[in-house]
Amino acid sequence: MSDFVELKASVRERVGKGAARAARREGQVPAVIYGDNKAPEPISLDYPVVLKHLNSGQFLSTVFVIEVDGKTTQVLARDCQVDPVKDLPMHVDFLRIGKGTKVSVSVSVHFLNEETCPGLKKGGALNIVRHELELTCAPNAIPDVIEIDLGDADIGDSIHISDITLPEGVTSTITDRDFTIATITTAGPSESEEEEEDGEEAEDGEEGEATEEGDE
């Protein structure tokens, strides 16, 4: 479960593009807190703090407790606009977490026991289809990662979402199909495939030579 992270913010007295640019010139990142049937609250956060959490890789799945003038609000970052050239944070949208709130978040997948995986020991390759899973849960139940054990996986095996035991209260956001997370595949083409490819290359070369002679 992700720990709550405390942030200090200040009220933005003015809103709009001009005010946002002014905040950025002062080393602040403009942001807004919205949701839970309350009025939007424009705020500013210290630029280095936002950048540090943005670079953590878990910015959109971390529950923040934002303090503004002594008042705290639990939020989840829903969007972060970045500069298209410099890739630096320009504006953040935070969603208030109310009672009974459930959120959809992307959680990274980690694979365990690759060194003892039968399929990999035979020379197979781990083909990761999804590096992250879209999950729905309460904000205080967001997993840090989803761990998948490869201890019994062999060549030709596929790991689907139905094969994963998710933490209590956590469900897959995608419910209309049993999607694939990873497969154990052969590391390269078989000998017969290589022979076929070699034969095709030889035929291609002969055709090319005949064409060049014809052109002459």
Does the structure show a pLDDT above 80 at 3? no
Element (H, E) at 116: none
Does the structure show a pLDDT above 50 at 215? no
Least confident range of 42-56, 97-111, 201-215 = 201-215
Q: Which pLDDT does position 96 carry in this prediction?
A: 92
Q: Which pLDDT does position 25 carry in this prediction?
A: 86
Tens of pLDDT, residues 10-34: 988 778 888 888 888 888 899 999 9
Q: Which amino acid is at 203?
A: E
Element (H, E) at 202: helix 191-215
Q: Are strands 5-11 and 63-68 parallel, antiparallel or unpaired?
A: parallel
Instruction: Please return the burial class of 177, using the count of CB atoms within 10 Å of its CB with bins 0-12, 13-18 and 19+.
Output: exposed
Among 68, 3, 82, smallest CA distance to 32 is for 68
Can you read off the two tokens belonging to residue 63? 């529950």
Among 92, 57, 67, 76, smallest CA distance to 139 is for 76
Residues paired with 134 in a beta bridge: 106
Tens of pLDDT, residues 61-99: 889 999 998 899 999 998 999 888 887 889 999 999 988
Q: 164 vs 193, which has greater pLDDT?
A: 164
Does the structure show a pLDDT above 50 at 141? yes
* Averaged confidence pLDDT in the chain: 85
Element (H, E) at 65: strand 63-68
User: Could you give the domains of the chain?
Assistant: 5-100 (2.40.240.10), 104-191 (2.170.120.20)
Separation of alpha carbons 180 and 203, rounded Å: 38
Element (H, E) at 53: helix 47-54
C-alpha separations of 49 from 13, 26, 99, 172, 212 in Å: 21, 14, 27, 31, 65
Q: Which pLDDT does position 30 carry in this prediction?
A: 93
Q: What percent of the chain has pLDDT over 90?
A: 55
Q: 137 vs 201, which has greater pLDDT?
A: 137
Q: Where are the beta strands (DSSP E) in 118-206?
A: 124-128, 132-137, 145-149, 158-160, 171-172, 180-186
**Cβ partners under 8 Å of residue 160, min gap 6:** 178, 179, 180, 181
Mean pLDDT to the nearest integer, 96-124? 92
Q: 84 vs 171, which has greater pLDDT?
A: 171
Residues paired with 99 in a beta bridge: none
**Cβ partners under 8 Å of residue 171, min gap 6:** 135, 136, 137
Q: Which pLDDT does position 188 carry in this prediction?
A: 60
Q: Which pLDDT does position 22 carry in this prediction?
A: 84
Q: 200 vs 137, which has greater pLDDT?
A: 137
